[in-house]
Amino acid sequence: MTGFATTRFLQPVTAHRGMREPHTWSLQYFQERDMFREPSYSEASSEQRAEYIRDFHDKFSELSGYSRNLHFSNRMESHNLGAFNPLTKRIDLNVNLLRDADPLQVMEIVMHES
């Protein structure tokens, strides 16, 4: 098993019983994909991580019906992790989120902003 599959990432899938199904299914989908992905999220470059998160967001959008308009911005202040524009239905995420080898925070922000 590669990547973050043995880290705290497993906790949201199993610990949050109140989590809505699209959230749980999307997290499980990402986890399963990462077990066989080369390189895994934790070993991937920032560009590859961005693609993996876009894939996660696409799956989450498919299951939940939310917007598929996701972008990474290098113009956001460090304390600003993400934002949703209701007029354009665009989600902007701080590109610095991709530095962490554990994708949980960025995935939580994607789901929160969707």
Quick: pLDDT tens for 15-73.
444 456 778 888 888 889 989 999 999 999 999 999 999 999 998 888 877 777 899 99
92 close to 58: Cβ distance less than 8 angstroms? no
Q: How far apart are CA 49 and CA 26, in angstroms?
A: 16
Q: How far apart are CA 71 and CA 51, in angstroms?
A: 11
9 close to 104: Cβ distance less than 8 angstroms? yes
The CATH architecture one would assign to domain 20-113 is 2-Layer Sandwich (3.30)
What residue has token string 């701080």?
94
- Select from 15, 3, 80 the least CA-distant residue to 39: 3
